[in-house]
Amino acid sequence: NCSLIHGKIQEGSLCAQHCLNNLLQGEYFSPVELSSIAHQLDEEERMRMAEGGVTSEDYRTFLQQPSGNMDDSGFFSIQVISNALKVWGLELILFNSPEYQRLRIDPINERSFICNYKEHWFTVRKLGKQWFNLNSLLTGPELISDTYLALFLAQLQQEGYSIFVVKGDLPDCEADQLLQMIRVQQMHRPKLIGEELAQLKEQRVQKTDLERVLEANDGSGMVDEDEEDLQRALALSRQEIDMEDEEADLRRAIQLSMQGSSRNASQDIPQTSGTHLTSEELRKRREAYFEKQQQQQQQQQEQQQAPPGQLSHLCERPTTSSGAPGSDLGDAMSEEDMLRAAVTMSLETVRSDLKTEGKQ
């Protein structure tokens, strides 16, 4: 657990401030204090330039140039950091300088390093018996093993970093005291802040997509039920349409049959006969037809008590010689079969009557 380690995360471009406070493990320097040190350094440089004459070209050029010790972004120079550490009796020595390299000191025997590349500063410090990368661009302290420390510093040098060894006694801190007694293990290395933000954004997107999928799955049962109801409704609608189409086709067939019978009958009747059915004769024939239908219905009701086998046999009997369907038809006949039988009987009756009239 590295929660006791002071590892300030980058805010703006105040990496020099974070570097110093991470090194000292506390909020020891503020931007205002570092700015004051920078202004003091600027004034010292101005006074040195003025020694050559305030009217000289170099002095006027120096006054027109911005400060080399700080800028509006929060950057501070190595001179500012060095002067700030002098307050604590600490000194910076360039790690790759010939003077330090001649000392042949193993990096693990040092206490801390300050690393700089362009305008970025960060601290590498030993806390207890372990090394930590306290880069403010990371989401937390990064554990560095003793065997990896020399390689880590060499890699920074290859990337163009300037490395400074911090000489002197650092102030006591709680993290150093605790880590003198225990060692920490780091299961996951911290990520760069940008990577962490990108990952969090991706996780939010994935979470949103997952919630949408879950919502869709929650309503899937309802969707399936709605689809089933719709399919059933469509099937019933198709059945009704088919039945209507069949009835319409049947009506058209009856109408065509009646028209065809009328045409055939008119052709069979001699043109000289001049015989026509009166409305009274048509009414009487319709009454006779309906009386015959009522008799057939009574006969069907009498046959309802007959055994199923006999009914099936009776249903298969052909029509009688009179042209009417068999009188033994039971209720086993469907309505459609009865309708077709009635239509057939009606057509045959009309044909028979017309032929009789034609003979007369």
Active site positions, annotated: 15, 120, 135
Closest to 146 (Cα-Cα) out of 109, 174, 183, 182: 109
Q: List, edge to edge, every strand of the sheet that includes 162-167.
A: 91-94, 162-167, 112-117, 120-127, 130-134, 142-144
What b/e readout covers 221-259, taking b as 16+ CB neighbours within 10 angstroms? eeeeeeeeeeeeeeeeeeeeeeeeeeeeeeeeebeebee
DSSP 12: T
C-beta separation of 77 from 38 below 8 A: yes
Contact between 4 and 140 (Cβ < 8 Å): no
Per the CB < 8 A criterion, the answer to whether 5 and 132 are in contact is yes
Q: Which two tokens stand for residue 287?
A: 């009454």
CA 329 – CA 307 distance, rounded (Å): 13
For the chain, the C-alpha Rg in angstroms (whole number) is 54
d(CA 222, CA 227) in angstroms, rounded, equals 8
Does residue 160 sit in helix, strand or coil? coil
Percent helix, strand and coil across the chain, each to the nearest 5: 60, 10, 30
Q: Which residues partner with 155 through β-bridges?
A: none
How far, CA to CA in Å, does 290 sit from each of 28, 342, 353, 357? 117, 11, 16, 21
The answer to whether 163 touches 114, Cβ cutoff 8 Å, is yes
